């Protein structure tokens, strides 16, 4: 990396499906309330992969325009705006990638994840962090403890998603939970549940490698749904015949969206983290109403980054098992191709 700041930086630019190019881009212009961060590590998220393979996710599409992807990152501050008060040059930081307006009703009420004018890294039309430098508001940039590596700092963000799911669901210590799906978000949700003392955490997945990781992240029981003929019966046998009190859907498919309803007891709560792209997904609403089920959803997060960093620093939480591969920044395109293999690629970190 350069020792002095120049007028241009290197960035990986997505220009077509599975076509990324390392290009020169102008250095970010620093505002008075921002810090300039030399990116040191970046995690590849499932949403990045949607843009990489389909050039869109949900209602956000590039429409043929170039995009710098990425929103999970950490780095070192190399410059600060004149209004910055808490951070300084040389600080090692993790970045909260959603920039709310802080003016709309939602922001003013503390629900800034629902901001009407959110700028979210790596989601078209907003460029992300797969580049050498990012200018970002100081209040959304968190100093990392000396014990935290850049690679761990780069994947604090998906852990925060798991913490938000736990918070939204209302689960208490000692309660029983089922997590459906053992990708990165599912594993982070398992770790979040372990951190607050869930009494039993049952992971349901289809890959032995991922189920082994689920145990490392805190699952007390695992069920391989490829091999188990009746997952519902097994879960009920583990829970006194009732089903779990809480369930977390971390896949995002039409099948799992409805399937998970059978994993909870009457009066239970189902929290959806997986993005179901199809708005026409059928739901058995009659039985949902008669069983008194509660639905919760997760859209980003609010005011959890500092808490997540403290939990990792003091040893309450350990998110390192989700990091399965490393690539250098110069091989960024190869990292994305590797991430297509979901059999053993959970969280790929690109080191700058």
Q: Are 258 and 283 in contact (CB under 8 A)?
A: yes
pTM: 0.94
Tell whether 75 and 194 lie within a shared domain: no
- Cβ neighbourhood burial of 81 (10 Å; 0-12, 13-18, 19+): middle
Q: Quick check: 4 pLDDT over 80?
A: no
In DSSP terms, 20 is beta-bridged to 14
Quick check: is 309 in a domain?
Answer: no
Of 269, 246, 250, whose CA–CA distance to 188 is shortest? 250
Q: Are 16 and 55 in contact (CB under 8 A)?
A: yes
- pLDDT > 70 fraction of the chain, expressed in percent and rounded: 98
Instruction: Domain count for the chain, please give it.
Output: 2
Burial 179-201 (b: 16+ CB within 10 A, else e): bbbbbbbbbbbbbbbbbbebebb
Domain extent, residue 238, equals 161-297
Tell whether 139 and 236 lie within a shared domain: no
CA 99 and chain centroid, separation: 16
Question: Does the CA dihedral 298-301-304-306 come out positive or negative?
Answer: positive
Q: Tens of pLDDT along 11-59?
A: 999 999 999 999 999 999 999 999 999 999 999 999 999 999 999 988 8
Tell whether 21 and 149 lie within a shared domain: yes
Q: Quick check: 1 pLDDT over 80?
A: no
Q: Tens of pLDDT along 55-111?
A: 998 889 999 999 999 999 999 999 999 999 999 999 999 999 999 999 999 999 999
Q: Tens of pLDDT along 194-253?
A: 999 999 999 999 999 999 999 999 999 999 999 999 999 999 999 999 999 999 999 988
Quick check: is 327 in a domain?
Answer: yes
Tell whether 230 and 328 lie within a shared domain: no
Q: Which of 54-58, 272-276, 285-289, 335-339 has maximum average pLDDT?
A: 335-339
């Amino acid at each position: 990396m350069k020792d002095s700041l120049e007028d241009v930086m290197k960035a990986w630019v997505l220009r077509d499906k599975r076509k990324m190019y390392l290009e020169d881009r102008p250095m970010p212009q620093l505002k008075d309330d921002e810090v300039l961060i030399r990116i040191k590590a970046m995690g590849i998220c499932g949403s990045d992969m949607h843009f990489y393979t389909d050039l869109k996710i949900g209602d956000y599409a590039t429409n043929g325009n170039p995009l710098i992807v990425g929103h999970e990152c950490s780095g070192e501050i190399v410059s600060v705006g004149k209004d910055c008060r808490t951070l300084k040059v040389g600080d090692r930081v993790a970045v909260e990638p959603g920039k709310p307006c802080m003016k709309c009703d939602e922001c003013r009420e503390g629900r800034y994840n629902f901001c009407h004018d959110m700028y979210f890294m790596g989601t078209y039309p907003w460029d992300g962090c797969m580049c050498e430098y990012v200018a970002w508001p100081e209040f959304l940039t968190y100093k990392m403890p000396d014990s935290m590596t850049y690679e761990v700092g780069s994947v604090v963000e998906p852990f925060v998603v798991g913490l938000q799911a736990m918070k939204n669901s209302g689960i208490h210590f000692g309660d029983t939970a089922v997590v459906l799906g053992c990708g990165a978000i599912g594993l982070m949700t398992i770790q979040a549940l372990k951190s607050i003392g869930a009494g039993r955490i049952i992971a349901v997945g289809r890959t032995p490698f991922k189920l082994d990781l689920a145990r490392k992240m805190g699952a007390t029981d695992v069920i391989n749904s490829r091999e188990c003929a009746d997952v519902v019966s097994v879960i009920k046998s583990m829970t006194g015949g009732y089903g779990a009190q809480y369930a977390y859907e971390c896949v995002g498919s039409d099948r799992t969206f409805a399937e998970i309803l059978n994993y909870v007891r009457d009066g239970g709560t189902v929290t959806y983290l997986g993005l179901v792209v199809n708005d026409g997904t059928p739901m058995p609403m009659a039985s949902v109403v008669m069983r008194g089920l509660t639905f919760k959803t997760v859209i980003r997060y609010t005011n959890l980054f500092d808490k997540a960093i403290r939990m990792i620093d003091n040893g309450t939480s350990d998110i390192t098992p989700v990091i399965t591969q490393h690539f250098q920044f110069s091989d960024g395109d190869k990292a994305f191709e590797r991430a297509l293999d979901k059999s053993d690629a959970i969280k790929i970190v690109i080191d700058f």
